[in-house]
Each structure stands twice: as structure tokens, then as C-alpha cells.
């Protein structure tokens, strides 16, 4: 019965997310419903002392990253830099290489720190025009954007400032550059396999005489080439974010040591630097990136910054609270007797890295959120993973990279928010386009086990 209660709570949360209801509202409902069925007297104390503590703790740690990332993406959009980058990449690769061009554009933007959701809106008009001119089925656009924005640059490439690569740092005391060799190998596997699959699907469609399509929804206006910023200037803020993140990752621990202590107005403030060093580095890098955009394009940005920043902050609040609610849900579920049975079953998987990969990707799939599923898994089992790492002499950097990559695998099931947004923006349905997105998901999941196998074969990370 205890196990059924936990599974029912997970399934309920998955169903309400799939139906489009707010996770902020229903994550506490699901968590407290499970507590109610276990021991009704525990509902008030677990809500205040566990759910809210976990939720507020997540917001305290990660909301600045969500907010700065959203604002950075917005100023990149307002400045015209995103259009300039897209246009330049298309000019270099050629319009006949539509799939490769769109994947690379999405990769550049997401690895440069632009939010995944911003990338979808920025790239879709160009993708639609290129696919229309190349007579490539529109139904392949979501898979193409997903490959570039929702896969290897989200959590595999070392140093990526996306939240999925930041969350493990607070549990394992690692940096966003953890296990760079494994990250690069996983990225190459996903990129090559994904491109090959989409090109195969494109070739099959053309052999069958299938064109772009007719009577389609949400078709953008044909893109008109206007005066765009110099592409090298447009790329410079992304470079600033990447370089600053790398430098600050090294400088922060040196500047503050293992623990920083200060007394202000009689109050002693002590901060453990390990869990927050990577977060500070990314926050500093994003701030410098935003300043770089203002330096190069202050006029177009400043005229629209008031409304643009409000929209960015609102989006960041929604995204961070969604994930924070799932994190609070995970903290409560992890304390229930039924979860001990789930945990014991997962612990029965003998290999610690495979154990972690399966745990994270299953919970990410159930919640429909890479960051949410990983947060639940690490909140509940990070101590177990750390103990297993010490027992097997496996560096925690490897556990960081495996957790990050596993989170971005099965999270893109039909109820995933990014998938729903992607299909809505492109005007397509799950029936039309989801199958190809799901194959990219499977490719991403397979990459995790490729990386694990490489580590055990070579010991390199």
C-alpha cells in the first residue's frame, strides 16, 4: 500500500502536467495527498518543514540563474543579435543544409546561455523558411530544434550555463566543467546520431514526394533580410559568457577559500563556497554577458528593455517555481515509507553510475522536467550516490555528468513543458511531429550509457 501511494502521487503529478495544469499548484497537492494517505497528522508539519523548506531552498539557490538567463536571452533577442547569428550561420553553411544549419544555430545560442524557450521563438521563423524553400516536411522542424537546443548543449557539453548542468554542482561540490571528456564524447554521439536520423527521415520523405506541407498553422511571415548587426559583434556576448564562466569557476574558490566568514553589525555570516561556487560563476558570467549586449547595442535594447525585462522576469519566476515545486514534492516523497521500497529497488542495480542514470531519467520522465526530475532524484539519493562513488573510487565529476545527461533524456516525454511549447510555436500536433522528437530523446538516453561504458573502458573523464 505504501508503494502504491508513492506511485499514485507520481502518476497524478505526471497526468496534471500532461493536461496542462500548473505544477506550482498541484505538486503540493500531490505531495500532501500522499502524506494524507500515509499519516494524516503529518500533513501540516511536512508541508511547512519539508515541502516549503525544499521549495524555498531551491529558489534561493537557483532563481538568480533563471532570472539572469531569461534577461540575457531577452536582450539578445531585442538587440537583433539572435537574428544576426542565425543569418550568419545560414550564410556559411548554405540554405541547402537546412537541418545542419538550424541545429548549429540552436546549439550556439543555448551553449551561449540563451534560454531554451527563447531559442525556440528566435529560430522557428528561419527554420520554417529554410524548410519551405528546401521542400523539407515541416513536421521535422521540432525534432531539428530539439536536437540543437534540448540535448547536448543543455547538459552534456562542459561549461554549459543551462540549469540542468548547474543543479548537480550543489549536490556533488563540482563545477559546470565537470568530466569534460565524457561530456564531449556524449555530445558528439548525440549530434552525429541525431543529424543522421533527421537526414534519413528527410531523404525518405523526399523519395515519397512529400513536400513542406499545406494548410499548416502558425506559419511565420517570410523572413525579410534587413540591416542586422555584425555577426561577430552578435556572437561576442555569448563568448563573454563562456569565457567568464570558465575564469570565474577558477577564481571564486581561490578568492573565497573553502569557507568565507564575515561579521557585519554583530552578525556572523559564514558561507560554504563549494556548493555555490559554480552558481556564482554562472551568475557573474551572465551579468557580464548582459552588460556586453548593452555596450554593443544599447539603443535598440534600451527602448524595449522595460517591457522585455518584465516578460523575462515573469518567465523566470514561472520556470523556477515550477521546478521548485517539483523539488519540494520530491523532498516529501523521499521521506515516505513507500519511497524506501522504490529506493531499495533502484539500489539493487549493482553499478552505481547505471543506478544513477536510471533513477534520474525515470524521475525526469515521470515529472516531464529535466531539472525537476533530477532535483527529486538528487534530493532523495545524492548521499547514496556519494557513498557509492567513494566505495567504487569514482570521481564525483563523473556522477555530475551522468546525472546531468540522464536528466535530459526521458524528460522529453509528451507532457514535457518544452515539448508542448515547441509544438505550439510551430503549429504542429503530437500526432504530426512527436515521434521524431521522441527518437531524439532515445538518442540522448543512449548517450548516457555510451559515456558510462567509455569511462569504465578507459578510466578517462
Residue 297 lies in a domain: yes
Mean per-residue pLDDT, 431-453: 91
Task: For residue range 58-83, list pLDDT tens digits in order.
Answer: 888 888 888 888 888 888 888 888 88
Average pLDDT, rounded, for the chain = 87
Greater pLDDT, 215 or 437: 437
- In this predicted structure, which of 198-202, 231-235, 244-248, 322-326 has the lowest mean pLDDT? 322-326
The answer to whether residue 162 scores a pLDDT higher than 70 is yes
pLDDT value at position 18? 66
- 296/228 Cα distance (integer angstroms): 13
The answer to whether residue 20 scores a pLDDT higher than 70 is no
Other Cβ atoms closer than 10 A to 173: 17
Concatenating the DSSP letter of every residue in 214-256 gives SS-SSPPPPPP------HHHHHHHHHHHHHHHHHHHHHHHHHH
Report how far apart the first and last C-alpha atoms of the chain are (Å, whole number): 42
Tell me the pLDDT band of 448, cut-offs 50, 70 and 90. Answer: very high
Q: Computed over its alpha carbons, how large is the radius of gyration of the chain?
A: 22
Residue 280 lies in a domain: yes
> C-alpha grid cell for residue 92?
556559411
Residue 139 lies in a domain: yes
The answer to whether residue 335 scores a pLDDT higher than 90 is no
pLDDT value at position 225? 58
Mean per-residue pLDDT, 300-324: 85
Task: For residue range 99-135, list pLDDT tens digits in order.
Answer: 999 999 899 988 988 777 778 877 887 788 788 878 8
Provide the CB-side half-sphere exposure for 46 (13 A, CA).
Answer: 24
Secondary structure of 388-455 in HEC code, one letter for each residue: HHHHHCCCHHHHHHHHHHHHCCHHHCCCCHHHHHHHHHHCCCHHHHHHHHHHHHHHHHHHHHHHHHHH
Percent of the chain with pLDDT over 90: 36
CA-wise closest residue to 239 among 455, 442, 35, 85:
85
- 59/390 Cα distance (integer angstroms): 30
pLDDT value at position 224? 58
pLDDT value at position 147? 94
Residue 234 lies in a domain: yes
- In this predicted structure, which of 2-16, 216-230, 373-387 has the lowest mean pLDDT? 216-230
Residue 220 lies in a domain: no
Tell me the pLDDT band of 349, cut-offs 50, 70 and 90. Answer: confident
Number of domains in the chain: 1
The answer to whether residue 323 scores a pLDDT higher than 80 is no
pLDDT value at position 112? 85
Return phi, psi of residue 429, to 5°: -105, 165
- 309/58 Cα distance (integer angstroms): 22
Domain residues for the domain of 108 are: 1-212+226-458
Residue 315 lies in a domain: yes
> Is 389 in contact with 174 (CB distance < 8 Å)?
no
- 448/461 Cα distance (integer angstroms): 13
Strands annotated E in 16-156: none
pLDDT value at position 362? 82
pTM comes to: 0.77
- 403/417 Cα distance (integer angstroms): 20
Provide the CB-side half-sphere exposure for 8 (13 A, CA).
Answer: 15
Residue 374 lies in a domain: yes
Strands annotated E in 253-401: 259-264, 267-272
> Is 234 in contact with 81 (CB distance < 8 Å)?
yes
> C-alpha grid cell for residue 353?
553510475
Residue 218 lies in a domain: no
- 373/412 Cα distance (integer angstroms): 11
Amino acid at each position: 500500500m505504501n508503494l502504491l501511494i508513492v506511485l499514485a502521487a507520481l502518476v497524478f503529478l505526471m497526468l496534471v502536467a500532461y493536461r496542462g495544469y500548473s505544477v506550482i499548484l498541484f505538486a503540493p497537492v500531490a505531495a500532501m495527498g500522499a502524506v494524507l494517505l500515509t499519516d494524516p497528522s503529518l500533513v501540516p508539519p511536512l508541508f511547512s518543514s519539508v515541502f516549503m523548506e525544499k521549495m524555498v531552498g531551491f529558489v534561493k539557490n537557483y532563481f538568480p540563474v533563471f532570472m539572469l538567463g531569461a534577461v540575457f536571452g531577452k536582450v539578445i533577442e531585442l538587440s537583433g543579435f539572435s537574428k544576426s547569428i542565425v543569418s550568419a550561420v545560414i550564410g556559411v553553411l548554405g540554405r541547402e543544409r537546412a537541418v545542419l544549419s538550424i541545429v548549429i544555430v540552436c546549439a550556439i545560442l543555448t551553449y551561449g546561455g540563451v534560454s531554451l524557450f527563447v531559442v525556440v521563438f528566435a529560430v522557428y521563423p528561419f527554420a520554417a523558411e529554410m524548410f519551405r524553400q528546401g521542400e523539407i516536411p515541416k513536421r521535422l522542424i521540432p525534432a531539428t530544434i530539439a536536437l540543437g537546443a534540448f540535448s547536448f548543449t543543455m547538459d552534456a557539453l562542459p561549461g554549459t550555463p543551462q540549469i540542468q548542468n548547474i543543479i548537480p554542482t550543489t549536490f556533488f561540490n563540482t563545477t559546470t566543467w565537470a568530466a569534460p571528456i565524457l561530456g564531449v564524447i556524449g555530445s558528439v554521439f548525440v549530434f552525429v546520431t541525431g543529424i543522421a536520423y533527421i537526414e534519413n527521415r528527410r531523404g525518405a520523405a523526399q523519395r515519397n514526394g512529400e513536400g513542406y506541407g499545406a494548410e499548416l498553422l502558425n506559419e511565420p511571415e517570410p523572413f525579410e533580410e534587413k540591416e542586422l548587426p555584425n555577426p561577430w559583434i552578435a556572437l561576442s556576448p555569448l563568448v563573454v559568457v563562456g569565457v567568464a564562466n570558465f575564469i570565474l569557476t577558477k577564481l571564486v574558490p581561490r578568492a573565497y577559500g573553502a569557507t568565507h566568514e564575515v561579521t557585519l553589525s554583530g552578525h556572523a555570516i559564514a558561507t560554504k563556497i563549494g556548493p555555490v561556487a559554480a552558481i556564482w560563476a554562472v551568475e557573474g558570467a551572465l551579468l557580464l554577458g548582459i552588460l556586453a549586449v548593452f555596450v554593443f547595442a544599447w539603443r535598440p535594447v534600451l527602448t524595449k528593455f522595460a517591457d522585455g525585462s518584465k516578460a523575462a522576469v515573469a518567465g523566470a519566476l514561472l520556470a523556477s517555481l515550477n521546478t521548485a515545486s517539483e523539488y519540494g514534492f520530491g523532498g516529501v516523497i523521499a521521506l515516505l515509507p513507500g519511497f524506501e521500497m522504490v529506493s531499495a529497488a533502484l539500489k539493487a542495480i549493482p553499478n552505481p553510475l547505471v543506478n544513477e542514470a536510471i533513477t534520474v531519467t525515470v524521475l525526469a520522465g515521470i515529472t516531464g522536467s529535466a531539472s525537476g526530475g533530477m532535483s527529486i532524484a538528487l534530493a532523495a539519493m545524492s548521499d547514496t550516490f556519494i557513498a557509492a562513488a567513494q566505495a567504487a573510487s569514482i570521481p564525483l565529476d563523473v556522477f555530475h555528468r551522468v546525472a546531468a545527461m540522464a536528466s535530459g533524456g526521458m524528460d522529453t516525454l509528451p507532457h514535457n513543458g518544452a515539448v508542448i511549447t515547441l509544438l505550439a510555436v510551430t503549429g504542429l500536433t503530437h500526432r504530426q511531429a512527436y515521434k521524431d522528437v521522441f527518437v531524439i530523446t532515445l538518442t540522448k538516453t543512449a548517450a548516457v550509457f555510451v559515456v558510462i561504458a567509455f569511462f569504465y573502458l578507459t578510466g578517462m573523464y
